[in-house]
A and B are shown apart, each in its own frame.
Chain A
Amino acid sequence: MPPSVPMFGKKRKNGVFPKHILSALEKCGLKTENLIYSAVTDMNDNGEFCDTFICFDDKGLYVANGNVDVPSKKGAEPFVTVDKIESFPIDAIDEGYIEKFVSTARLVYKKSEEEFPLIRFSYACLEDMDAFVYAFNSFKNGVPVEEIKAEKENGEEDNPFEKKKRRDRGIVFRLLAFYKKYILIVLVVTVAIGAGAVFQLLVPQVGTRALFDKIISNPNHLSQLDLVKSLGILVAEIFFLKLFKVILDSGHQFLMASITPKVVYDIKIRIFTAMQKQSVSFYTSKQTGFLMQRVTGDARHIYWFLINDLPDIIVNVLMVAGIFVIMFNMSWKLSLLVLTIIPILIAVIKGSEKMFHRLHHAHWATNSNVSSIVSDNINGQRVIKAFCKENFESKRFRKASEELRKAEVKLAKREATIFPLFQAVVHIVSTVIFAWGSILAVKGEISIGSVLSFIVYVEMIQQPINFLSGVVNRWARCMDSATRMFEIMDAQPQITEKENAVSMENMAGSIDLSELEFEYEPARPILKNLNLHVEAGEMLGIVGKTGAGKTTIASLIARLYDPKRGSVKIDGVDVCDIKLHEIHTNVGMVSQDIFLFMGSIADNIRYAKPDATMDEVISAAKAAAAHEFIMKLPDAYETRVGSGGRDLSGGERQRISIARTIIQNPKILILDEATAAMDTQTEARIQQSISKLKDGRTTIAIAHRLSTLREADHLAVIENGEIVEYGTYNELLTQQGQFYTLYKIQNKALNAIGIGE
């Protein structure tokens, strides 16, 4: 098999090749001193993985297939082979672009109207190649080399999202770190556990051994009274040892029960807070069922493990260690025999740990799938009923439950077969010890009391071993849950606030979008070099087809995402430099996705301003044309909405969400299809409210229904991420361009239903 290609799957740095690649290219005759930009890709034209080097200078663009082989020896120079360098004169190329396929992409270059395929690469190189193409096209457009290189250096800056390396501390230590706050209690618990284990270990020494060696073996040397006295002392010693053990056990259980819920509470809060810090993209990529499972189900697994099993693990580990110390003290020969089982048990424990970890993972995933289906069904009941799909959904649920059942059965079967295996090992060793110990006792190498107490210790060791073998399963489940929870805690939010972010308490509300570029996935641009200026207090209407990029503009102004290139400025300050809290309090958004939280209508309206008076709440509801319908509800403003609450219509929910934004009193108001779900009459009323609302604030209104944008000071028509028309309502109608066409189509449609202008 050929050597592995070590750069596979790793992010490569753009810009200038590393030295070893440069010298290999130079050996093949390429002059590298004037290279402006370069990249390494990972595929040849046949779709086979290899290294492909691509670069350009002011004379040409160069492509070479090759291979970088990094020797396993640390610090050794990578070995680079270059097959052949293909050159393309810089004047023979006008521009380049990336054509995306389903899992791969290719670089295509254009000359006049003709196109030529150049290189193919996997999605792993998409970002790098996107930057390469941008650099190349910038160069062709006359951007100075220094600027391109400066851009490259900026691009090579540590990505803030990846800057913090994953803390690779063991999961166990990370879990235990949550106990740090309660260190004193933990110390007391540990001492209590240790002392309890010692008391338990002393019982065979004080009881069995003393009974045989001091009393039963010497009955003639003791008087009746001394015998009774000795027996009495023996019984009392055993009684008190057991009593102390019970007291210590109860004590440590009580203390653990008092701190573990606090620890699990801390873990839940940390996960929930980590989730709150995540950007919008985090939630769109994860299913609700999985996230809910992490906050509740995983935390529950960890709770039961920490409260029940962790103290017992300490007890049993101490027990095993203590038993061996005593055993070696009594007979090293017999102890060595017992020791032989340890490696066997470790091997079985290690093997089963891995297996159970995977089985639990499968169980967790199938269980989450069932939860997601249940959640889907509850939320989608209207659609299910409307399409008469009850049976279909039942079958879907049955299928998922069947998968869960299989995972559970598999897990239970493995549990049932693996645990007796541990016991069998212990029983065999115990029997051998009994036989060999008896021989040693007959030879006089060990007392009968010692043999008997040794056997008691071997029997005693079974319990911790049984426990430790059983706990492997629960340990694996806890580790599996903890792994998933730490995954959320470690996820770096995409939107972060700069350390020296500025505070803008008195925002005027002017907006500047400058050379704005954005894409949700590499090489699929949503906004292309978009420039737009909105004066403070102005109303801008944005019009365009679905998918044109209207909502993306709104999201960038509210800094739900960061642009790929270019900037969004409010009052001349880049939104990336403004405190996040300031942006979110000053930019209000009424979007097409309406969400009401669990609680009363008043609570929902007050969401942005919890201390708002009832007077303010009613005024906001009136301004949003919501007061009238709220007052018709039996509980009026105290009507519970959201999950499990009263079912409101789309229009009603939207009016509450508008009232919620009104009470926020933002300097910049974004209405993203805010009235799309309403009937014409309600829409007209809300339009009136919005007209009043826009006084003194900058308003950006995105709408399909052009009539709703009559009040706008300016309108921008967006198509494929670019502004194709800009002007006032009347100017755009006079221009007879795209806006005019849209206007005519809509008017015709509205006339057909009798509500046209």
Chain B
Amino acid sequence: MLTESNCIFKKNENGFLLAEIDGKQASRVKIVCTQPLTRPYEYVSVMSMDDEEYGIIENVSDFDGEQRRLIEEDIRQRYFCPVISEISSIKDKMGNFYFDVVINGRKKNFLVRDLTKNIRQYSNSIMIIDTDGNRYMIDDINAVPKKSRRKLQPYLY
């Protein structure tokens, strides 16, 4: 297990995350979640850029202040998904589902096929994966406008 006592994170001047583990010289690392969808900050793996695992952090909250911020920032960057705030329309054309949505106040459209595979529900949050592999999140289905919810509802199963 990696803890504050054997692992120190810092950022280099180009913005990459480095880690000094067991007193060894700091090198570039990446933080990979074991449960990215439900518990992104628990049991996270610290890996080299060649996917060699240095160790696991049981809970990111075990790290304090700046250290914790650096870990969380890397997780947010790696697992970043645009958040859909509104669904304007979902058009079904021959099994191709054209989504018109609003993200960060801007309109965005994308294409989804095979809805059963590419619309996933985790409790109240919903992940939509388009044909390019881009992921979009609806953090809380109950928080989006009722009209948007009604448009998506038939495809949630």
Per-position 1/0 for B116-156, Cβ under 8 A of A? 11000000000000101111000000000000000000110
Q: Which residues of A contact B69 (CB under 8 A)?
A: none
Complex CA distance for A122 and B81, rounded to whole angstroms: 9
Looking at the assembled complex, report how far the CB atom of A358 sits from the nearest CB atom of chain B, in whole angstroms: 4
Complex CA distance for A630 and B80, rounded to whole angstroms: 56
Complex CA distance for A149 and B15, rounded to whole angstroms: 34
Q: Could you list 11 examples of A-B contacts with CB < 8 Å?
A: A3-B107, A4-B108, A101-B78, A102-B78, A122-B82, A168-B93, A361-B155, A362-B154, A365-B115, A365-B116, A484-B95
**B114 in contact (CB, < 8 A):** yes
Pairwise interchain contact B133-A521, C-beta atoms closer than 8 A: yes
Per-position 1/0 for A163-196, Cβ under 8 A of B? 0001010010000000000000000000000000
Q: Which residues of B contact A283 (CB under 8 A)?
A: none
Complex CA distance for A535 and B27, rounded to whole angstroms: 45
Looking at the assembled complex, report how far the CB atom of B64 sits from the nearest CB atom of chain A, in whole angstroms: 26
Pairwise interchain contact B94-A486, C-beta atoms closer than 8 A: yes
Pairwise interchain contact B81-A103, C-beta atoms closer than 8 A: yes
Identify which of residues 1-24 in chain B touch chain A, using a CB-to-CB cut-off of 8 Å.
14-16
Pairwise interchain contact A2-B105, C-beta atoms closer than 8 A: yes
**A290 in contact (CB, < 8 A):** yes
> Pick the contact of A49 from B78, B93, B94, B106 — CB < 8 Å?
B106
Complex CA distance for A742 and B99, rounded to whole angstroms: 51
Complex CA distance for A49 and B116, rounded to whole angstroms: 27
Complex CA distance for A126 and B130, rounded to whole angstroms: 13
Pairwise interchain contact A49-B115, C-beta atoms closer than 8 A: no
**A48 in contact (CB, < 8 A):** yes
Identify which of residues 103-153 in chain A touch chain B, using a CB-to-CB cut-off of 8 Å.
103-104, 114-117, 122-124, 126
> Pick the contact of A122 from B15, B77, B104, B134 — CB < 8 Å?
B134
**A645 in contact (CB, < 8 A):** no
Per-position 1/0 for A477-510, Cβ under 8 A of B? 0000001101100100000000000000000000
> Pick the contact of B14 from A116, A483, A490 — CB < 8 Å?
A116
Complex CA distance for A124 and B105, rounded to whole angstroms: 20
Pairwise interchain contact A123-B133, C-beta atoms closer than 8 A: yes
Q: Which residues of A contact B81 (CB under 8 A)?
A: 102-103
**A9 in contact (CB, < 8 A):** yes
Complex CA distance for A117 and B133, rounded to whole angstroms: 22
Looking at the assembled complex, report how far the CB atom of B100 sits from the nearest CB atom of chain A, in whole angstroms: 9
Complex CA distance for A369 and B115, rounded to whole angstroms: 12
Give chain A's interface residues, CB within 8 Å of chain B: 1-5, 8-9, 47-49, 101-104, 114-117, 122-124, 126, 166, 168, 171, 285-287, 290, 357-359, 361-362, 365-366, 368-369, 403, 407, 483-484, 486-487, 490, 521
Pairwise interchain contact B154-A358, C-beta atoms closer than 8 A: yes
Considering the complex, give the chain A residue whose CB is closest to the CB of B90. Answer: A358
Give chain B's interface residues, CB within 8 Å of chain A: 14-16, 28, 36, 77-82, 92-95, 102-111, 113-117, 130, 132-135, 154-155, 157
Complex CA distance for A335 and B110, rounded to whole angstroms: 48
Looking at the assembled complex, report how far the CB atom of A352 sits from the nearest CB atom of chain B, in whole angstroms: 14
Pairwise interchain contact B14-A103, C-beta atoms closer than 8 A: no
> Pick the contact of A361 from B80, B94, B154 — CB < 8 Å?
B154
B28, B114, B117, B133 interface centre (most CB from chain A within 10 Å)? B133
Complex CA distance for A580 and B132, rounded to whole angstroms: 29
Pairwise interchain contact B106-A2, C-beta atoms closer than 8 A: yes
Looking at the assembled complex, report how far the CB atom of A355 sits from the nearest CB atom of chain B, in whole angstroms: 8
8 nearest CB pairs, A to B:
A358-B154, A4-B107, A487-B95, A103-B135, A124-B132, A123-B133, A9-B110, A123-B132
Considering the complex, give the chain A residue whose CB is closest to the CB of B113. Answer: A487
Q: Which residues of B contact A357 (CB under 8 A)?
A: 92
Complex CA distance for A362 and B103, rounded to whole angstroms: 26
> Pick the contact of B107 from A1, A362, A486 — CB < 8 Å?
A1
Given A8-B109, A369-B157, 17 other A-B residues pairs in contact with their CB atoms under 8 A: A1-B105, A1-B106, A1-B107, A4-B108, A8-B108, A8-B110, A49-B104, A104-B80, A115-B14, A117-B15, A122-B82, A123-B134, A290-B116, A359-B154, A486-B95, A487-B94, A487-B95
Pairwise interchain contact B114-A286, C-beta atoms closer than 8 A: yes
Pairwise interchain contact B107-A9, C-beta atoms closer than 8 A: no
Complex CA distance for A483 and B114, rounded to whole angstroms: 12
Complex CA distance for A358 and B82, rounded to whole angstroms: 26
Instruction: Knowing A9-B130, A103-B134, A117-B15, say if A48 contacts B104 (CB, 8 Å).
Output: yes
Q: Which residues of B contact A486 (CB under 8 A)?
A: 94-95
Looking at the assembled complex, report how far the CB atom of B50 sits from the nearest CB atom of chain A, in whole angstroms: 9
Looking at the assembled complex, report how far the CB atom of A670 sits from the nearest CB atom of chain B, in whole angstroms: 29
Looking at the assembled complex, report how far the CB atom of A342 sits from the nearest CB atom of chain B, in whole angstroms: 27
Complex CA distance for A171 and B94, rounded to whole angstroms: 8
Pairwise interchain contact B133-A9, C-beta atoms closer than 8 A: no
Q: Which residues of A contact B154 (CB under 8 A)?
A: 358-359, 361-362
Pairwise interchain contact B80-A101, C-beta atoms closer than 8 A: yes
Pairwise interchain contact B79-A101, C-beta atoms closer than 8 A: yes
Complex CA distance for A361 and B115, rounded to whole angstroms: 10
Complex CA distance for A487 and B105, rounded to whole angstroms: 33
Pairwise interchain contact B157-A403, C-beta atoms closer than 8 A: yes
Instruction: Knowing A9-B110, A484-B95, A521-B133, say if A369 contacts B116 (CB, 8 Å).
Output: yes
Complex CA distance for A48 and B108, rounded to whole angstroms: 11
Q: Which residues of A contact B15 (CB under 8 A)?
A: 117
Complex CA distance for A357 and B93, rounded to whole angstroms: 12
Q: Which residues of A contact B106 (CB under 8 A)?
A: 1-2, 4-5, 48-49
Complex CA distance for A122 and B104, rounded to whole angstroms: 15
Pairwise interchain contact B14-A117, C-beta atoms closer than 8 A: yes
Pairwise interchain contact A103-B94, C-beta atoms closer than 8 A: no
Complex CA distance for A227 and B78, rounded to whole angstroms: 94
Complex CA distance for A117 and B135, rounded to whole angstroms: 22
Looking at the assembled complex, report how far the CB atom of A46 sits from the nearest CB atom of chain B, in whole angstroms: 9
Looking at the assembled complex, report how far the CB atom of A95 sits from the nearest CB atom of chain B, in whole angstroms: 15
Complex CA distance for A335 and B132, rounded to whole angstroms: 55
Q: Which residues of B contact A103 (CB under 8 A)?
A: 79-81, 133-135
Q: Which residues of B contact A115 (CB under 8 A)?
A: 14, 16, 28
A4, A116, A122 interface centre (most CB from chain B within 10 Å)? A122
Looking at the assembled complex, report how far the CB atom of A487 sits from the nearest CB atom of chain B, in whole angstroms: 4
Q: Which residues of A contact B92 (CB under 8 A)?
A: 357, 483
Looking at the assembled complex, report how far the CB atom of A41 sits from the nearest CB atom of chain B, in whole angstroms: 12
Complex CA distance for A358 and B154, rounded to whole angstroms: 6
Q: Which residues of A contact B77 (CB under 8 A)?
A: 101
Q: Which residues of B contact A403 (CB under 8 A)?
A: 157
Pairwise interchain contact A5-B157, C-beta atoms closer than 8 A: no
Pairwise interchain contact A368-B116, C-beta atoms closer than 8 A: yes
Looking at the assembled complex, report how far the CB atom of B29 sits from the nearest CB atom of chain A, in whole angstroms: 13
Considering the complex, give the chain A residue whose CB is closest to the CB of B32. Answer: A102
Q: Which residues of B contact A1 (CB under 8 A)?
A: 102, 105-107
Pairwise interchain contact B103-A49, C-beta atoms closer than 8 A: yes
Instruction: Knowing A49-B82, A117-B15, A122-B134, say if A362 contacts B108 (CB, 8 Å).
Output: no
Looking at the assembled complex, report how far the CB atom of B4 sits from the nearest CB atom of chain A, in whole angstroms: 26
Looking at the assembled complex, report how far the CB atom of A557 sits from the nearest CB atom of chain B, in whole angstroms: 28
Looking at the assembled complex, report how far the CB atom of A461 sits from the nearest CB atom of chain B, in whole angstroms: 32
Looking at the assembled complex, report how far the CB atom of B87 sits from the nearest CB atom of chain A, in whole angstroms: 14
Pairwise interchain contact B16-A117, C-beta atoms closer than 8 A: yes
Pairwise interchain contact B80-A47, C-beta atoms closer than 8 A: yes
Complex CA distance for A369 and B117, rounded to whole angstroms: 11
Looking at the assembled complex, report how far the CB atom of B95 sits from the nearest CB atom of chain A, in whole angstroms: 4
Q: Which residues of B contact A368 (CB under 8 A)?
A: 116
Instruction: Knowing A8-B110, A365-B115, say if A114 contacts B14 (CB, 8 Å).
Output: yes
A49, A286, A403 interface centre (most CB from chain B within 10 Å)? A49
Complex CA distance for A115 and B11, rounded to whole angstroms: 13
